[in-house]
Amino acid sequence: MGTRRVFVRIEDLSISSMLQIDMPRPPTNIHVLQTARKILGLTQAHLALRVGVATVTIQKIEGGKMRLRRKLANKISIATAVDPQQLIENFDPETPYLVMAHPEKLTRKNAQARQKPKLDESTLDVIDREVYVLAESMREMLRASVMKGSVWVLLHMLREAVAEAREEFKLPVRTERPNRAAIMQAVAARRRERQSL
């Protein structure tokens, strides 16, 4: 922590002298967004353009004058590859972490790779693994909600959340109803495959 010099004039009887006192500087609160932006070599204006907000919005976030909401944090995360939860909570502001890769630190190179992923075997494996984890988590929640009488409301909330994510990220909407028999066959095949391992 740096110090600043403060001069205080003391007058004692007829003696005047200057006294120098070292006082601690007030801490500067930085935001992880500012650190990430500098790592990526972006100006506030350029980042604002990427995110689709006014430059003053980025300034307010970095200055601690505006609290991030989930939707804006997601948009900034797409533009910077920084974990949206870190953007919201501003933990470890001097060490931005990659989205879904904590504790991997943000660099310009890995941010570019995150922003333009390839639809290759490793990406598909990650997607399949995450879908499985999410599905298991939702299954447990739904089963637990039956006894509380909230299963139908929870199902509705989950569908709404998926629809909202589709809209927010401008993803195509599935228009045909899924073939339940085909889904059940695929689930059974996966179970057999897991059991054989």
DSSP 105-161: BP-HHHHHHHHS---SHHHHHHHHHHHHHHHHHHHHHHHHHHHHT-HHHHHHHHHHH
* CATH number assigned to the domain comprising residue 94: 1.10.260.40
Pairing of strands 15-24, 3-12: antiparallel
CA distance to 97, 146, 155, 166, 170, per residue, from 160 (Å): 29, 19, 9, 10, 15
* Residue 83 and residue 155 in one domain: no
CA distance to 37, 108, 124, per residue, from 189 (Å): 46, 41, 18
The pLDDT tens digits of the residues spanning 130-153 come to 999 999 999 999 999 999 999 999
* Residue 106 and residue 146 in one domain: no
* Residue 122 and residue 109 in one domain: no
Residue 192 inside a domain? The answer is no
* Residue 100 and residue 161 in one domain: no
Residue 93 inside a domain? The answer is yes
* Identity of residue 38: K
Contact 141, 154 (CB under 8 A): yes
Contact 106, 36 (CB under 8 A): yes
* Residue 162 and residue 103 in one domain: no
Contact 82, 76 (CB under 8 A): yes
Instruction: Give the structural domain span for 168.
Output: 118-172
Count: domains in the chain: 2
Query: 16 or 126: whose pLDDT is higher?
Result: 126
Contact 87, 68 (CB under 8 A): yes
Residue 142 inside a domain? The answer is yes
Residue 187 inside a domain? The answer is no
Residue 75 inside a domain? The answer is yes
> Which residue, 127, 138, 81, 132, is CA-closest to 104?
81
Q: Cα(145)–Cα(153) distance, rounded to whole angstroms? A: 9
Residue 111 inside a domain? The answer is yes
Residue 16 has a pLDDT of 41
* Residue 96 and residue 151 in one domain: no
* Residue 138 and residue 159 in one domain: yes
The pLDDT tens digits of the residues spanning 23-69 come to 554 445 899 999 999 999 999 999 999 999 999 999 999 999 999 99
Query: 57 or 124: whose pLDDT is higher?
Result: 57
* Residue 83 and residue 151 in one domain: no
* Residue 109 and residue 138 in one domain: no
